[in-house]
Homo-oligomer: A and B are copies of this chain.
Amino acid sequence: MIIEIDNHSGVPIYAQVIEQIKQYVLSGNLSEGTQLENVRSLAARLMVNPMTISKAYNQLERDGIIERRRGIGMFVKPMSKGIKKDFKSQTAKESFKKAAATAVLMKYTEEEAVDLLREMYRKLKNEEGEDKDE
């Protein structure tokens, strides 16, 4: 699982971790019952204070995304497909609303906005393809 930390974004590190794990789980890229990397290992990998990871895991547990099995570790929690779907569409909507708002503000036409989206979408799709080849 790839997690990227941006130290300059102003967003707290623990929040970045939460956000990215949430997306992995709810997009289906991290399936139910999978064990999460342990705190110390992930902390070492991200070169971050273990407390920070621990805080993120705790928050994810409170959010009902993952569950703690005593003495074993953290696991992705089973969720109804309905909830997942809701989350997906809600997340997507928020993200697209922001993009649309920017476009309207910058006085882009609808077609210009669509073109820009297609461009970015394809670029990311290609990168994804390359990642799989590795």
Contact = CB atoms under 8 A, between A and B. Distances in A.
A99 interface: yes
Query: Which secondary structure dominates where chain A touches chain B?
Result: helix
Interface string A78-109: 00000000001001110111111111111110
Residue among A26, A67, A91, A96 having the largest count of chain B Cβ atoms under 10 Å: A96
Q: How many identical subunits does the complex contain? A: 4
Given A7-B67, A7-B70, A70-B13, A120 B102 contact: no
Interface in A4-37: 7, 12-13, 23, 26-29
A123 B105 CA distance: 13
A124 B101 contact: yes
Interface residues of A, number: 46
Contact of A92 (B92, B102, B124, B128): B102
Interface of A: 7, 12-13, 23, 26-29, 49, 62, 67-71, 88, 91-93, 95-108, 110, 113-114, 116-118, 120-125, 128
